Structure 1
């Protein structure tokens, strides 16, 4: 028994190490990391190296625990600002979008797998949600710099759509197992869903408050803070699930709340959970890979692959487009959101539920979902950055690399201790002074420490320590960051020329209109007009169509007010020749343009020859 334990531990440790080392290779070649982890599990499994593992119940519990850890860390790293700018489109995708995806997918499953509509809807619910792990890793680690609203929409959607998919899957498994058919889907299920989401939201907020309160009162040992945060996060997850709420929604909300409050040992917690999330990812995907039996795949490989392609190219894009119609996203942005619909561990976890529910064709659901996840990771995971570049969504960075360490001060101090390494070609290295309010105190150069006042001109590689109010940290980031790389198409991205944001919007209307301003906008400046049309807050690289031109936010000042506006004289190329992915405002623009063309043609006077003929 003891020997078996050590052998099991040895094999598990080797698999984790192989996955960790393979991630370094995957970074170099741009391969999706989660596909690598899943492949290692398949290679080590029963049809590979011969490790036999078929404990579906244990795999589901372990995967759920790992997913809770990932969601808490994802929420902890999501700013309130990101949530605000993306809340409505993301939550629409996480609710209506999942239902639409599952419903559309059901028709393909009926055709290709000869399932009933209800069974097709179950399979659609299993693969209906995007995977938080896959999306967060590819966007945050993959070096894809896109507009904040688009990135936030994808991240918030992936963190909040799991509860809808889980609820639909559990409900449909119960209905199909009971034999009631579609009549089993009644108003009670809707009320149950509302109850689960409400409890998840309420106890997520209360749990976040509890985490902040406890961590800020037990500050005797910094090394214990990450353990407290982890245990309390899992407590929120388990308690909410035990009382009938959505534990996954609760732990994500608790992460968002606690991550956006002043909390003891924040940096230590963030670093600990970043490493723990990597470990959770690796273990979860390896275990799910071990669970699969590839020798069973050939019998359903072709229909499963076709369903994966149907999901990627038809079901997900249509659901996203219909869900995002009311929101002001460009055709390119909506198309990109539709493409970044990666399926991952959540879909495989949910595919275990039909087996645990005792359904006769449970293995069909599991194997089909597994193949669909592989198709998604290969097709979408490998192409996200090229697609973003093709659609013109990768924006030039505002600043280059910055190397800093943030240290929390004990007690209720309003300042933080920040350490920056002076980067090559950074503004401070070029002679720009550090503001006095930053309170620079210490410089470490070549292993020797000295007071800032006696250090003279800063040199590359110096480590500078400053006491600063947290609100001003991002201003210092610009001073210590290296020079931002300049691409050849940066000028095209930001327009042919710039205009002053303080000029009256009427001048813009006179040049590129007229008649494009509403009565409310008549007395605005260009900056106010952009902010108004962007929903009250402008972000770096935001774009707004104004008649035949596109206005672009080139830069913001320290108060996030628009500092520079670019003008692109060429219309944005459509993401597709088909009239899809356009929003309601764009549809209104096109209808208005067509009406103007029609009126212009109808009002055109007849040619002279015709007038002469008529006079005769």
Structure 2
């Protein structure tokens, strides 16, 4: 076997990254998800393309595990508790019962296909269920990437619902995949009580560890900031932000590994830890978020390029017909059926909302990463499972990924009246008892006059900046305001002490 030198690996890696970024820039013009572009670039440079040989499933699984930890943590950090509070129960229903139903409904369909003479797959019931389980969760990287790149507001709390589901359903799919692999390799029967016990144990330990590590990391950050007293307080802010970001990254991997060692679900723990830290008052929250966003994009790009290199497209052709049937079934029947059944108890969710959530069941890197587990464990038919999962993922990204926003428009679920959130690139220190808000002016706000001195701003508020088109202006009392102007307002937070001041 011929090994590449370190310099050659760096050369190939740098070319892949640069090519992926440049080609990915065009994704906005042609309407393809940017992560699909990276997947296709990886395939183009792989065995059936430029000829780069990469087939190490163990390495791919390890890199995928690291990447998924960072992606889930970053997704958790970007999740505001105030936003998901109204949709916590529907989100949990989708990420637990929804995943189970998707796995069993799709697994049953795959098993029926396997019994037909004209198909070229022949899976027993448990391997059929395993194949479905690897694809049973929506992919957080794909969902976060598409929703994050499209600056649109959704009605009916759909955006936080979808982000909560996609960020929290990977643990269930992971647990199902591991349980089924253990059952198949050990030659035992699938026990309902055993599955319930393992799921409860992993969810319980994972949840507790996520909360514990979130609080512990928050205290570590507070300790770091005060360590050394006056000398510590005088640390360069950019250095402090960098060090705290690195410490948080270490806490992510510690959370995952410690939870896994305790037989809990590390992915769930990482996601919960991210939610807790994201809703804490962290020093230079923006800088830390930017660091994690950069790490998340890097991990997503690396994983999609790596998975593109890992697959051999000519092998997918052997299972293309049956993969197409499975993919269409998941998109048109399996996902919608599981969504409607999971959300049946929640009467407040409209039919149009359920239809859209059913459609946006994107598959991405996570199912492919989970499909490497049967290969590593030498499960019979694991190669076919991997190729089918890869094909279904491509189909999902091509069909569903390109129609996320257009389907929302057709169902009239985009809130055109909501002004996009914007902070003008300004961030306040968390120690200050103030907050920033934006106001977009309409005729109604200007009925009493078109200057700041004539506007009725809340007590303790001050307009810092005005944005008009592409211009930014520092206002004074005589600046003439017009409808469409956006105001950046700093407001004093109301506390019990400030009320009596």
- TM bracket (short chain): 0.7 to 0.9
Report which stretch shifted further, 105-114 or 248-257: 105-114
Distance 1:471-1:271 versus aligned 2 partners, 3 A rule: farther
Matched, 1:191 2:197: yes
Q: Pick the aligned partner of 2:270 from 232, 246, 251.
A: 251
Distance 1:464-1:225 versus aligned 2 partners, 3 A rule: farther
Specify the SS of the correspondent of 1:48.
coil
Question: Which residue of structure 2 lines up, in the alignment, with residue 174 of structure 1?
Answer: 182
Question: Which residue of structure 2 lines up, in the alignment, with residue 27 of structure 1?
Answer: 28
* Structure 2 CA distance for aligned equivalents of residues 404 and 369 of structure 1: 42
Q: Relative contact order, CA 8 A, sep 6+: which one is greater?
A: 2
* Structure 1 CA distance for aligned equivalents of residues 77 and 158 of structure 2: 19
Question: Which residue of structure 1 lines up, in the alignment, with residue 353 of structure 2?
Answer: 333
Matched, 1:437 2:460: yes
Q: Pick the aligned partner of 2:147 from 139, 161, 171.
A: 139
Distance 1:232-1:401 versus aligned 2 partners, 3 A rule: closer
Specify the SS of the correspondent of 1:407.
coil
Distance 1:184-1:463 versus aligned 2 partners, 3 A rule: closer
Task: State the Cα distance separating 1:184 from its structure 2 match.
Answer: 3.9
Deviation sequence 1:52-84 (CA, Å, 0-9, x none):
001101111111111111111111111112221
Task: State the Cα distance separating 1:364 from its structure 2 match.
Answer: 0.6
Q: Pick the aligned partner of 1:212 from 210, 213, 218.
A: 218
Task: Give yes or no for contact 2:360–2:400 (8 Å, CA) kept in 1.
Answer: yes
Distance 1:232-1:13 versus aligned 2 partners, 3 A rule: same
Task: State the Cα distance separating 1:353 from its structure 2 match.
Answer: 0.8
Task: Give yes or no for contact 2:464–2:488 (8 Å, CA) kept in 1.
Answer: yes
What stretches of structure 2 of length at least 5 have no aligned partner? 114-120, 226-234, 496-501
Question: Which residue of structure 1 lines up, in the alignment, with residue 162 of structure 2?
Answer: 154
Equivalent residues, number: 464
* Structure 2 CA distance for aligned equivalents of residues 458 and 203 of structure 1: 55
Specify the SS of the correspondent of 2:295.
helix
Question: Which residue of structure 2 lines up, in the alignment, with residue 457 of structure 1?
Answer: 479
* Structure 2 CA distance for aligned equivalents of residues 123 and 274 of structure 1: 31
Matched, 1:368 2:388: yes
* Structure 1 CA distance for aligned equivalents of residues 440 and 100 of structure 2: 50
Matched, 1:284 2:297: no
Distance 1:298-1:178 versus aligned 2 partners, 3 A rule: same
Task: State the Cα distance separating 1:360 from its structure 2 match.
Answer: 2.5
Task: State the Cα distance separating 1:148 from its structure 2 match.
Answer: 4.6
Distance 1:464-1:332 versus aligned 2 partners, 3 A rule: closer
- RMSD after superposition: 3.2
State the TM-score, normalizing by the size of structure 2. Answer: 0.85
Task: Give yes or no for contact 1:405–1:420 (8 Å, CA) kept in 2.
Answer: no
Distance 1:419-1:15 versus aligned 2 partners, 3 A rule: farther
Distance 1:137-1:465 versus aligned 2 partners, 3 A rule: closer
Task: Give yes or no for contact 1:71–1:248 (8 Å, CA) kept in 2.
Answer: yes
Task: State the Cα distance separating 1:193 from its structure 2 match.
Answer: 1.5
Distance 1:4-1:140 versus aligned 2 partners, 3 A rule: same
Report which stretch shifted further, 258-267 or 146-155: 146-155
Task: Give yes or no for contact 1:163–1:246 (8 Å, CA) kept in 2.
Answer: yes
Specify the SS of the correspondent of 1:84.
helix
Task: State the Cα distance separating 1:143 from its structure 2 match.
Answer: 3.2
Task: Give yes or no for contact 1:90–1:153 (8 Å, CA) kept in 2.
Answer: yes
Task: State the Cα distance separating 1:252 from its structure 2 match.
Answer: 0.5
Task: Give yes or no for contact 2:353–2:413 (8 Å, CA) kept in 1.
Answer: yes
Deviation sequence 1:190-218 (CA, Å, 0-9, x none):
22221111111111111111222222332
* Structure 2 CA distance for aligned equivalents of residues 397 and 53 of structure 1: 49
Question: Which residue of structure 1 lines up, in the alignment, with residue 76 of structure 2?
Answer: 75
Deviation sequence 1:516-566 (CA, Å, 0-9, x none):
xxxxxxxxxxxxxxxxxxxxxxxxxxxxxxxxxxxxxxxxxxxxxxxxxxx
Distance 1:400-1:285 versus aligned 2 partners, 3 A rule: closer
Task: Give yes or no for contact 2:210–2:272 (8 Å, CA) kept in 1.
Answer: yes
* Structure 1 CA distance for aligned equivalents of residues 439 and 95 of structure 2: 41
* Structure 1 CA distance for aligned equivalents of residues 274 and 358 of structure 2: 26
Question: Which residue of structure 1 lines up, in the alignment, with residue 498 of structure 2?
Answer: none
Distance 1:195-1:436 versus aligned 2 partners, 3 A rule: same
Task: Give yes or no for contact 1:225–1:265 (8 Å, CA) kept in 2.
Answer: no
Distance 1:443-1:354 versus aligned 2 partners, 3 A rule: closer
Matched, 1:468 2:474: no
* Structure 1 CA distance for aligned equivalents of residues 305 and 343 of structure 2: 35
Q: Pick the aligned partner of 1:116 from 114, 118, 124.
A: 124
Specify the SS of the correspondent of 1:172.
helix
Task: Give yes or no for contact 2:437–2:491 (8 Å, CA) kept in 1.
Answer: no
Task: Give yes or no for contact 1:144–1:394 (8 Å, CA) kept in 2.
Answer: yes
* Structure 2 CA distance for aligned equivalents of residues 387 and 279 of structure 1: 29
Question: Which residue of structure 2 lines up, in the alignment, with residue 345 of structure 1?
Answer: 365
Task: State the Cα distance separating 1:463 from its structure 2 match.
Answer: 12
Task: State the Cα distance separating 1:421 from its structure 2 match.
Answer: 12
Specify the SS of the correspondent of 2:425.
strand
Report which stretch shifted further, 71-80 or 5-14: 5-14
Specify the SS of the correspondent of 1:468.
strand
Report which stretch shifted further, 400-409 or 69-78: 400-409
Task: State the Cα distance separating 1:465 from its structure 2 match.
Answer: 8.1
Specify the SS of the correspondent of 2:22.
helix
